[in-house]
Amino acid sequence: MEVPVIDIGPLRDGGVAAAEVAGELHGACRDVGFFSIVGHGVDPALQDRLRLLAGQFFSLPVSEKTEIAMGRAGRAWRGWFPLGGELTAGVPDQKEGIYFGHELTSDHPLVQTGTPMHGPNLFPSEPGDLRTVVLDYMDAITKVGQLVLSGIALGLGLPQTWFAEHLTANPLVLFRIFRYPPLTSAVSDQWNVGEHTDYGLLTILGQDDQGGLQVRTSQGWVDVPPRSGHLVCNLGDMLERLTGGLYRSTPHRVLHRGNEDRYSFPFFLDPGWEAVVSRLPVVERPLDDDAASRWDHVSVHGFEGTYGEYILSKVGHVFPDLAKDSLP
């Protein structure tokens, strides 16, 4: 099985061509939960610049990187963490990274009330251009994500603007830059990032040419090789919840055994903090509660509350020490 490649360009124009793309998206969401997109319109030069600056930052001494350590951001949940500083299913990941989100000033109402995962980003003094490039990239990918969701809405028989009107008018936007050193151990069960699913609606991944991403399908684990000009998309738990299991939040992992560091740039387009994600009325099928077969053995359908409450129930397991200090 291969991850489908879909040209999303026609979604901008509507009409018959957009309906055909929506059908392709529907099939990919139903059958795999992963797909690659072209026709997204993101400037390749912007992506190249982001990769270059990321390499410059991660090559800095630890003493300089700790100037933007995540602990300095408190509840905003932003900044740098070292190799092994993030957990997946209780196991330290073999990666280091920087967390970013929607840039909010200190006088924003959500910041004033101490809402977790909201606030200003932490940017390093060097490289100095990282701030501008990260914010430009996040803005470009947000537009791509909204476009993809408009096609998913059409594929589900909804108005093309359904997500923007109901869940992502003020989305929770999260962005990461990760560096994965090659694994040299021969231990068969060692991973850079273990099996997991994402929490929100849609993840859009930029990656370099090193490879290492794997997706669990009905035919086993499948590699998602990097391709120039492609962005990889996968569904999060909230799309599985919305569709009663018609769409899957597909498990994935990272195993990098190359000769050079691998860089990836996952962007998460999630429902708004106060959004309540309920099953879509257009989905006519029995509720598919697959908790027993999920990687974490937790159903996405049993939760009640806002999306903010859902993601807070998850992120504390990723950075448990930080959660004790900064989250309610």
Neighbour count for residue 239 (Cβ, 10 Å):
26
The residue-averaged pLDDT of 223-250 equals 93
pLDDT of residue 95: 94
What is the count of structural domains for the chain? 1
The residue-averaged pLDDT of 196-225 equals 92
* Domain range enclosing 12: 5-326
pLDDT digits (tens, 9 = 90+) for 101-122: 999 998 999 999 989 999 999 9
Q: Rounded to whole angstroms, how far apart are CA atoms 325 and 328?
A: 8
Q: Rounded to whole angstroms, how far apart are CA atoms 4 and 220?
A: 16
Q: Which of 99, 298, 89 is nearest to 195 (CA)?
A: 89
pLDDT of residue 285: 62
**For the whole model, what pTM was predicted?**
0.94
DSSP characters over 24-84: HHHHHHHHTSEEEEE-----HHHHHHHHHHHHHHHTS-HHHHGGGBGGGGGGG--EEE-TT
Residue 184 in this model has a pLDDT that exceeds 60: yes
pLDDT digits (tens, 9 = 90+) for 284-323: 765 666 655 666 667 788 888 999 999 988 888 888 887 8
The residue-averaged pLDDT of 60-82 equals 95
The CATH number covering residue 136 comes to: 2.60.120.330
Q: What percent of the chain has pLDDT over 90?
A: 71
Dig out the tokens for 106 from the structure: 């200190």
Q: What's the pLDDT band for 72 if we cut at 50, 70, 90? A: very high
Q: What's the pLDDT band for 189 if we cut at 50, 70, 90? A: low
The H-or-E segment that residue 309 falls in is: helix 307-315
